[in-house]
Amino acid sequence: METVRVGVGPVSVDDVLAVARSDASVELTDDALAAIDRARAVVEELAAAPIPAYGISTGFGALATRHIPAELREQLQRSLIRSHAAGSGPEVEREVVRGLMLLRLSTLATGHTGVRRETAQMMASLLSAGITPVVREYGSLGCSGDLAPLAHCALVLMGEGDVRDAGGTLMPAADALAAAGLSPVQLGAKEGLALINGTDGMLAMLVLAIADLRRLLRTADISAAMSVEAQMGTDRVFAADLQELRPQVGQGLSASNLTRVLAGSGVMASHREDRFHRVQDAYSLRCSPQVHGAARDTVDHAANVAGRELASAIDNPVIVFDEVGGLGAEPPSGVPGGGAPGRVESNGNFHGAPIAYVLDFLAIVAADVASISERRSDRFLDRARNHDLPPFLADDPGVDSGLMIAQYTQAAIVSELKRLAVPASVDSIPSSAMQEDHVSMGWNAARKLRRSVDGLTRVVAIELMTAARGLELRTTTGDTAGTTPAPATGAVVRLLREHGVGAAGPDRFLSPEIETAVALVASGAVLSAVEDQIGELS
């Protein structure tokens, strides 16, 4: 099994994917443990001081004015976690919970939170053992961190709450820890706050969505190319010299993909010189690179934001040191405890606005790419626009309805995606007795983006089904009978047929075929079928 090593520097996107989706185990590096110990020494010193320090010897949020005596501070930490583990609703997906736990551990490893090494190691042990806290859908406002989701995870470190073990069985946390040979931790000063005050949930969902969207946008280029091919469209509009007139990076990449996917098509060759009838295609065909390319550029912007957030140490308050060098710097010698003088500072870095904005932006992207995909599909079904294919691609129109209702399914999803594109980040509901009077709603933005990505996957899958049937009919009937599809698009048709998806013929139970197509898109199988033929797409 792969092991991800967490140090004082940022974890990578590949690390997040490995832990979240491939069950990689986790361990802390020696430099991370040293940084953790160094910050902890500062917390211990401040905890012993008579002057109150927020998060160490005071209450939290609007209750920060109360100085908590030493004998009540362990209870303070337990009470914080128990009270903040107030989520409600369905369980959050396992990959999201594992991702957010890794990202919280990454911040702990920077040496700016003040936790003890045994607490950080316990988080790593939970991930390595495959123990996943039960986190609920609702509870985070995306400010002061993803408090409720992270509190449900911290609760498990204490041996409380519910989890699912590596096999997915629901059980009390205490039983799962005992079965894995792990002992609950007793949280010390500041540790409860350090475990819950981060943007890790919304960031984990952003990283996962970016990976999915990058695969989906290449797959959408494939489905668009198949639609152009089967609808007797022209590929001249995708020429490189035309794209250079508008040097948007994503647009050029998408157009290049379309050209490569269509290369060698006998269907395209059969009408390439028909300039009288093929002067201009509809926007949904002709402008595919413009829409898909703008989506690519937006995903790249979101990836830049995510990269900066992965390199961040999000907590409040934080432990900082009066030295030059940043994360992982060698501490100066001659200072008691082996480090530079440290201090605790309050800050607002937990506010999720940077992540919330791009999460909302990506929901817009998903809605618009799905919208143009559905429009390409719809053209196949209309006899007036599909260039002599049967109405609805039906075997015996009137007796058979063909793919009529598959397009309804697409339309229903696209309508839902438009609703999900309404931004969550422009909303704010004050909380904590007006101490937290502006919040990001980034968690909500992330949750709706996950639904958007799922919807886009389904819309593209139905376009592939439709285009494959249209291409099959195009190469077996009418004036183009006997022509051959491009090697890349032909590979997709074969893949779908091998899995029982989309062949022409009398009506049959369509839902299972749609779900199979969705799985082939989501797994990357469609993309792999094309790339095995023509190499990696941009």
Distances 536 to 43, 207, 488, 533 between C-alpha atoms, Å: 51, 22, 12, 9
Reported as a pLDDT band with limits 50, 70 and 90, residue 58 is: confident
Q: Which amino acid is at 414?
A: V
End-to-end CA gap in the chain: 30
Per-residue 3-state assignment (H helix, E strand, C coil) for 478-498: HHHCCCCCCHHHHHHHHHHHH
Beta bridge partners of 171: 163
3 state DSSP class of 361: helix
* Tens digits of residue pLDDT in 413-444: 999 999 999 999 998 888 877 777 788 889 99
Residue 274, pLDDT score: 74
Phi, psi of 360 (to 5 degrees): -65, -40
Residue 336, pLDDT score: 33
pLDDT higher than threshold 80 for residue 517: yes
Q: Which amino acid is at 129?
A: A
Reported as a pLDDT band with limits 50, 70 and 90, residue 275 is: low
Distances 165 to 61, 131, 471, 515 between C-alpha atoms, Å: 34, 5, 47, 28
Assigned CATH class of 207-303+353-534: mainly alpha
- Fold observed for domain 3-198+316-345: Fumarase C; Chain B, domain 1 (1.10.275)
pLDDT higher than threshold 90 for residue 70: no
Please tell me which residue, 453 or 479, carries the higher pLDDT value.
453
3 state DSSP class of 212: helix
* Tens digits of residue pLDDT in 105-151: 999 999 999 999 999 999 999 999 999 999 999 999 988 789 999 99
Task: Note the maximum CA span of the chain.
Answer: 90
pLDDT higher than threshold 60 for residue 471: yes
Most confident of 58-67, 140-149, 462-471: 462-471
Measured CA angle at 80 (ends 45, 105), to 5 deg: 70
Sorted by where each begins, the domain ranges of the chain are 3-198+316-345, 207-303+353-534
Residue 331, pLDDT score: 42
Provide, for the chain, the percentages of residues in helix, strand and coil under a 3-state DSSP scheme, each rounded to the nearest 5.
55, 5, 35
Query: Active site residue: 54, 138, 283, 408, which one?
Result: 54
283 included as an active-site residue: no
- 58-67, 182-191, 470-479: range with lowest mean pLDDT: 58-67
Residue 338, pLDDT score: 43
Task: Report the sign of the C-alpha dihedral through residues 213, 215, 218, 224, in that order.
Answer: negative
Residue 434, pLDDT score: 76
Reported as a pLDDT band with limits 50, 70 and 90, residue 233 is: very high
Q: Indicate the average pLDDT of the chain.
A: 92
User: Which residues are within 8 A (CB) of 315 and not within 5 positions of it... i.e. 6 or more apart?
Assistant: 107, 112, 113, 193, 194, 197, 198, 349, 350
> Which tokens is 423 given?
């931004």
Specify whether the CB–CB gap between 202 and 446 falls below 8 A.
yes
Distances 419 to 69, 86, 217, 415, 449 between C-alpha atoms, Å: 50, 28, 21, 7, 11
pTM: 0.94
Q: Which is nearest to 530 in space by CA: 332, 258, 214?
A: 258
| Cα 506 from Cα 513, distance rounded (Å) | 14
Phi, psi of 298 (to 5 degrees): -70, -40
* Tens digits of residue pLDDT in 196-209: 999 999 999 999 99
